[in-house]
Amino acid sequence: MKDLIKFVKMMKYSLQAKMITILAIIFLVIGIFFEFTDFGRGSMFSLAALYLALTSMYFYQMVFTTTVSRMVQTSPLKRKLQTSGPAIITLITSLIAFTLYTVIRCVRMTPEFVEENEITWAQAYVPIFFMAVSIFVFMVYLGISYKSFIFSLVLIAVSVGGLMFLGGQDSVFESITEKLLVDNGPVLLIAVSYGIIVISAVVAYVLSVLLYKKDISEAAVRYALRQAQSK
């Protein structure tokens, strides 16, 4: 708990903290807006779920970039701020974003809504599973992005492309979701999705530990990080 409090306090010293916070809020608002307007309805690729998944990813950057400070560079806290810190903070914010989206989705998915929109219960709940998978992909990307930027870009491009492709293939995500529904109820689906999110944080942490001794990629943090390192 003490470390968690330290991680949260350190976030205000991250590069462009205010801008990152604003971007996270914007993505949150856009995601909720897309959900209530059913933007992109008819595809398993849910833009609402995707934007809300991205919201929590900004907090990984906020924790990690605090380590560019010379004060942190010589601090024993540095390792945690590049490994467990980002993973824990992003896990917490991801769970909050996912819970928010799940509550909104479940409240909206009434029998009347399903009937009026001529969709199955699997199609109604599939964005919940899609969001969990999206968070997993983004967490794996973040776990390596600051140390192997070019490789991580290729990985995220292929992964997002795969999500979009699978999202367009209704039978893929829909069939998985259908298997996880019990009497048209999403309890098991939600539980599995939470599990995927937790596992994603563990994977991100393990990757960051394995790559810890590798130098930070200058390309990963671009001009702002290079400037901070030179001060």
pTM, 2 dp: 0.84
Tracing tokens 């833009």 back to the chain, one arrives at 47
User: 54 near 48, Cβ under 8 Å?
Assistant: no
∠ Cα 92 97 99 (to 5°): 95
Supply 179's token pair: 């298997």
Residue 27 is predicted with a pLDDT of 93
Q: Look at residue 33 in the predicted model and tell me its pLDDT.
A: 92
Question: Which pLDDT belongs to residue 224?
Answer: 46
For the chain, the domains span 2-230
- Averaged over successive runs of 10 residues, the pLDDT of the chain (231 residues) comes to 77 78 92 81 72 90 77 73 91 96 92 84 89 92 80 72 61 82 90 97 94 75 48 41
| pLDDT at res. 228 | 44
